Amino acid sequence: MMHFMLLFSRQGKLRLQKWFIAIGEREKKKIIREMTQSVLARQPKTCNFMDWKDLKIVYKRYASLYICCGMEDQDNELLTIEIIHRYVELLDTYFGNVCELDIIFNFEKAYFILDEFLMGGEVQETSKLSVSKCIEESDLMQETMEEYMSKPAF
Amino acid sequence: MPAVSKGDGMRGLAVFISDIRNCKSKEAEIKRINKELANIRSKFKGDKALDGYSKKKYVCKLLFIFLLGHDIDFGHMEAVNLLSSNRYTEKQIGYLFISVLVNSNSELIRLINNGIKNDLASRNPTFMNLALHCIANVGSREMAEAFTADIPKILVAGDTMDSVKQSAALCLLRLNRTSPDLVPMGEWTSRVVHLLNDQHLGVVTAATSLITTLAQKNPEEFKTSVSLAVSRLSRIVTSASTDLQDYTYYFVPAPWLSVKLLRLLQCYPPPEDGAVRGRLTECLETILNKAQEPPKSKKVQHSNAKNAVLFEAISLIIHHDSEPNLLVRACNQLGQFLQHRETNLRYLALESMCTLASSEFSHEAVKTHIETVINALKTERDVSVRQRAVDLLYAMCDRSNAQQIVAEMLNYLETADYSIREEIVLKVAILAEKYAVDYTWYVDTILNLIRIAGDYVSEEVWYRVIQIVINRDDVQGYSAKTVFEALQAPACHENLLKVGGYILGEFGNLIAGDPRSSPLIQFNLLHSKFHLCSVPTRALLLSTYIKFVNLFPEIKATIQDVLRSDSQLRNADVELQQRAVEYLRLSSIASTDILATVLEEMPPFPERESSILTKLKKKKGPGKVPDVEETKKERNSDMNGSTEPASVNSSAVTMSTPSTSTDLLGLGSAPVLNSVAPPSAGGSLLVDVFSDNSPAVASLAPSAEENFSSPRIGSTDVVSDDPAAAVHDADELVDKFVCKNNGVLFENQLMQIGLKSEFRQNLGRMYIFYGNKTSTQFQSFLTAVICQDALKTQLNIQTKQVDPAVDGGAQVQQILNIECVSDFVEAPILNIQFRYGGALQNMSVKLPVTLNKFFQPTEMTSQDFFQRWKQLAAPQQEVQKIFKAKHPMDTEVTKAKIIGFGVALLDMVDPNPSNFTGAGVIHTKNIQVGCLLRLEPNTQAQMYRLTLRTSRETVSQRLCELLSEQF
């Protein structure tokens, strides 16, 4: 089970944080600080895994953005890299060649997409088509649903 | 400005984000944020009702501000209002805000739950999904209470949409993790298992996660999932890559589902049904075969997904540990990966091989890769990978290759990263001891260890080498010679000086015949380094000197001169001063006979498990326990062994100076006392000197530092009797209350503190009674409960202050409410301050809040018990301790203690009727940990073996520590 997913920039600016466990704000800030520091300090050409307390950290870099996940010990590391990749693909499909600015300005969308893909720290839907369709539908929904709902019921 | 803004853009939000990004300084940013907060606040408070869009926009801005790291203390109500909006996007933002900024404000939770309830009942799949996501994101107990009954119904209802089923399954999984007691098992469980057959692969994926978690807790109930999972897996691995459409990921069919199915199968032993078993073996072979096929794509995603399935299959093979053929194939496959150009694969191969090394079928096969692993240690550029290589070398070590592996590790230690040095030191120390055929090799290895990485050599390591040298007389002369030579180096590590000082003090006579290491040369060598060392080392060296007085009477005068010098007799450090005074006195008035008895060679240590091993286990675990605590714990167990429990309590409580030096070699134990107790003839002098405190005799052994700081010899008046500043933090207090909830926690001449406590699940209430034993009023009576370090986040303790005046003879009561958030090791400290007759009194006692208090007993059948026992077979889940009985071995008393510990005592479970088994669940707010225990008494040897298995290493460890102190 994934405990958290963090997106941060090369400069250590946090762009997205998703927590699948209940912990306090102070603890969260501490983890964020430690994660950005230790992931950014890693040399190039190293593996994508790190041990941290009783968690396994799996991270991957996309241009200026790092995505870093805290996994439990028995979770599959390679597949976690692909969870990260699939999420980036989903963002890419939605925004069309996603860049850091898209995530900054549309952070709520980035959350919605993540919610369609992961839930409770587990993969919910691995099909790119299904997830993208859900998101597209909910974007359309705002018009159709609004129109639908504003009609008098009788 | 935003690059794209799809869906409904919120212009105001985009402008605000731009503004923040344009801020040149932190101050400017804070200023801009405060301006925005003021604006939003006024909008929310304004008379004009806000339309849904504005409300959504402002809530979204608040969320953004919060995510920047600022506190948000309003807006929750507006967010909750958005939940009841009919507009999807407004509802969505409302849910997002709540998911990110949960507040346990009960009023709000009720409103949120109401919104969720409406959406769940709406039969609109999109709304239902939003609601289920919110429950899963928050996962609080209140929500679990409100919805655990509904969600299973949604999950198994025939007309539920697939996407809602997926959400419902994972939502239930989340609630089961946070509040398993609330998730009702029932008719739905069998229908959940059949979701493994569902047409929709997304549903199967989500359901498999849920079933895996449920099966870990109730394997019996979900047993049918095994054959279903095997047939599903078989259909996937044999499918053509196009069959599964969008569930094929870079030419790999359904990698996520495959991995989850393989994980589910790891909850069970190999299938009993031959056909199912055969089919599974076929699957695993197919997966292994595919690894040899040429890749279908050059993309890294393809190989990652393919290898993810492969590694999971290997995990399953190792878990079953029953098919030698598959195990060897797995080992060969990993061997290939060891030299792969992908760093990730090398890392994972090393990691997997570690577990493979412990299987008897594959241990030899793993060993053939030793050269590759050693090479990895030397050439890998990535510290994570090197760490795995160290782990693997440690795992594959046995008698045949120990010398080579230890030599390579020592070699590597010279250049190793600081972050892993301590761990390597521990590993080398353990291997050197475990596989030592020739103890001179062992001694050399440890001395090398100190030379190379002295700073990382913990006390456990050098205590251990001394224990071994003392117990093995064949190596004593060699050790004395080796340390003497090592000490010749102009700069040697202080740890070497400690080992050297100790060993020469005991066995210096064995090399004194050689004129190059005559008594005087030995003494001068040690003393030349004396002034450069820290106080504890100097204290140890002083004890060495007094030992020399006995070993070498010819240098007695020289030593007395040193002891007599002002820098010793008037040393600012009270410990050193005291030793100098006492040793000088002892050397001048005691006859040679008495000296010989008091300063006799140390008797052998009782065999015990190496404390280094415990330390390594701990290091690997999460919350690292401070070392001092660990050694202190040991000391207490020793004391319990030697003295009556009653007197232990009193002596621990009246100990007025908290000892700074830790227990050296755990020597406060009975055998030492006995062996150096003065003989009746000629003992009068000693009895005089040591007047009322006979245990102090033990302190004359150069090792027993601890005893020096407790009962002071002939100087009771020097030590202030003032109870102020007394810290009563001895662990016995805590141990005493492990199996009971009521009793006297502390008593001195001024006051008595009584305790009554009750615990239910993760909550507890403790009544503390402060009794004033004097006839004078205590003034400014103030108490504080202190949770240190990690404990702060692990325990929540709330209390009200008591009245600041406590009348003479009166008793006041204080109530503590305790919530256990997660598992913990330390005990909270109760600090009490008050004025008595003008003098400020200050004392601290450890509160006996221990992890086992949060047990709920669980009754189970023999079959269930062993089923679960087997599932918790991972090495880190089990903790075992073998120890000597400290109390008479009475079955009824033992039973009462186990029940008092909090678990259910399971009768007729263990095939051996004299064994005890118990089961229970530790309740914390975050998790619940099932726990099984087994206590096997051996009346003949007066020993016990205690085994604990829980799903959490720290819990096993802690419970074992607690319970093993009780018998």
Q: Which of B223, B304, B386, B578 is nearest to A84 (CA)?
A: B304
Which of A85, A130, A149 is opposite residue B202, by nearest beta carbon? A130
Give the C-alpha distances (Å, rounded to integers) separating B257 from A75, B3, B200, B229, B430.
13, 36, 12, 10, 41
> What type of residue sits at position B470?
I
CA dihedral B590, B595, B597, B598 (to 10 degrees): 90
pLDDT at position B437, please? Answer: 82
Strands B795-799 and A65-71: unpaired
Strands B726-728 and B839-846: parallel
pLDDT at position B652, please? Answer: 33
Contacts of A8 in chain B (CB under 8 A): none
- For residue range B767-821, what is the model confidence (pLDDT) as tens digits? 888 888 888 888 888 888 888 888 888 888 888 888 888 888 888 888 888 888 8
What's the DSSP call for residue A97? Answer: S
End-to-end C-alpha distance for chain A, whole angstroms: 48
The count of CB pairs under 8 A between chains A and B is: 194
Residue A151, pLDDT > 90, answer: no
Contact B89 A124 (CB under 8 A): no
pLDDT at position B637, please? Answer: 36
Mark which residues 921-950 of B lie under 8 Å from A by CB: 926
Which of A1, A125, A142 is opposite residue B8, by nearest beta carbon? A142
User: Which residues are bridge partners to B919 per DSSP?
Assistant: B904, B932
pLDDT band at A8 (very low <50, low <70, confident <90, very high): very high
Helices B439-453, B494-507: crossing angle, 10 deg rounding: 150
Contacts of B618 in chain A (CB under 8 A): none
Strands of the sheet with A65-71, listed across from one edge: A14-19, A2-9, A65-71, A55-62, A49-52
Q: Is B700 on the interface with A (CB under 8 A)?
A: no
Q: Which of A68, A132, A72, A75 is nearest to B246 (CA)?
A: A132
Which of A27, A53, A139 is opposite residue B793, by nearest beta carbon? A27
- For residue range A61-107, what is the model confidence (pLDDT) as tens digits? 998 899 999 999 889 999 999 999 999 999 999 888 889 999 999 89
pLDDT at position B105, please? Answer: 60
Instruction: Locate the chain B residue with the closest alpha carbon to A45.
Output: B343
pLDDT at position B305, please? Answer: 95
Which of B14, B139, B343 is opposite residue A22, by nearest beta carbon? B139
Which of A47, A54, A120 is opposite residue B174, by nearest beta carbon? A120
Chosen for mutation from A11, A51, A100, A126 (greatest number of chain B CBs closer than 10 Å) is A126
Instruction: Locate the chain B residue with the closest alpha carbon to A79.
Output: B308
Contact B301 A146 (CB under 8 A): no
Separation CA B908–CA B913 (nearest Å): 7
Contact A141 B170 (CB under 8 A): no
Whole-structure pTM over 0.90, yes or no? no
Could you give the angle at the alpha carbon of B795 between the alpha carbons of B791 and B800, nearest 5°? 115
Q: Is A137 on the interface with B (CB under 8 A)?
A: yes
Contacts of B263 in chain A (CB under 8 A): 74
Whether B632 contacts B459, CB under 8 Å: no
Q: What single string gives the DSSP state of each residue in B511-553?
A: GTTSGGG-HHHHHHHHHHHHTTS-HHHHHHHHHHHHHHHHH-G
Mark which residues 12-41 of A lie under 8 Å from B by CB: 14, 17, 20-22, 24, 27, 29
Contacts of A28 in chain B (CB under 8 A): none
Contacts of B259 in chain A (CB under 8 A): 76, 79
Strands B763-772 and B811-820: antiparallel
Could you give the angle at the alpha carbon of B684 between the alpha carbons of B680 and B685, nearest 5°? 130
Give the C-alpha distances (Å, rounded to integers) separating B489 from B444, B545, B710, B761.
15, 21, 36, 60
Q: Residue written as tokens 């004194």? A: B512
Mark which residues 70-129 of A lie under 8 Å from B by CB: 74, 76-79, 81-82, 85-86, 94-96, 99, 101-102, 104-109, 111-112, 115, 119-129
Tokens, residue A97? 């060649």
The sign of the CA dihedral B598, B599, B604, B605 is positive
Contacts of B792 in chain A (CB under 8 A): none
**Complex confidence, ipTM:** 0.92
Looking at CA atoms only, how far is residue A31 from chain B in angstroms?
A: 13
Q: Is A43 on the interface with B (CB under 8 A)?
A: yes
pLDDT at position B104, please? Answer: 58
Which of A79, A99, A102 is opposite residue B259, by nearest beta carbon? A79
Q: Is A62 on the interface with B (CB under 8 A)?
A: no
Tokens, residue B476? 């004593």
Chosen for mutation from A7, A81, A108 (greatest number of chain B CBs closer than 10 Å) is A108
Contact B2 A106 (CB under 8 A): yes
- For residue range A24-68, what is the model confidence (pLDDT) as tens digits? 888 999 999 999 999 999 988 889 999 888 899 999 999 889 999
Contact B63 A50 (CB under 8 A): no
Whether B746 contacts B845, CB under 8 Å: yes
What φ, ψ does residue B486 adopt, rounded to 5°? -65, -35
Q: Is B724 on the interface with A (CB under 8 A)?
A: no
Q: Residue written as tokens 């060392």? A: B533
pLDDT at position B559, please? Answer: 92
Stretches where chain B sits below pLDDT 50 are 1-7, 622-729
Q: Is B126 on the interface with A (CB under 8 A)?
A: yes
